Amino acid sequence: MIKDPLLRTIGLGTRIFLCGAVGYVAWEGTQHNPSVERDKGTNIPYSPSATLALIGDLKNMSADYLRAASFQGYGITLFVGVGVPIPVLDEELAASLCVATRIFTPRFWITACRKESGPNLAGSVTPSCRSGEIELEGKKVRTASLSSYAKARDIAAAAEKLDRSAQVLPAGADTGNPDDRTIKPLDETDL
């Protein structure tokens, strides 16, 4: 969704590639927060912003794109392969689609801190984090991505096949996602 950061083409009813099958955007996700700080030139958010609630037929999905995961201190979750066809509506969207991933400068936090109050690693750009280590306070620290670049390319190719067979059509958003909501993070308390 970084390529369409304002969700101009993604909304309720948008047909998508979901784990090897056709899926749909059903609503905003539970952690949808579009009011975060964004890059002035590209509108790319510096921290997590848009999330989507998706729906699809599990019987048609592939285990290649749907995997169980477990994070210590968090619990169980899923890795879900999603591909969204984005139609080029105008020059602004075309420019957004051309932004290279190497120039994304998201803000990172140390996950062991369990919330965004940990050290802000804003100076770390995506390629250095993908390299496997960054320097933090003079020390080398290992990094790991939660997503696979190779799997993302695989999903893009598979989504393109569905798109060409007219199963996933870049029709744009039937109804946009809310853009004026904020989330209230749940603070942990000791019992």
**Residue 153 is assigned to a structural domain of this protein:** yes
pTM metric for this prediction: 0.73
What domain range includes position 61? Answer: 11-101+147-176
As a whole-number percent, the residues of the chain with pLDDT over 70 amount to 72
**Residue 49 is assigned to a structural domain of this protein:** yes
**Residue 39 is assigned to a structural domain of this protein:** yes
**Residue 162 is assigned to a structural domain of this protein:** yes
**Residue 134 is assigned to a structural domain of this protein:** no
Please give the average per-residue pLDDT across 87-104, as a whole number: 80
Query: How many domains does the chain contain in total?
Result: 1
Q: How many whole angstroms separate alpha carbon 157 and alpha carbon 114?
A: 35
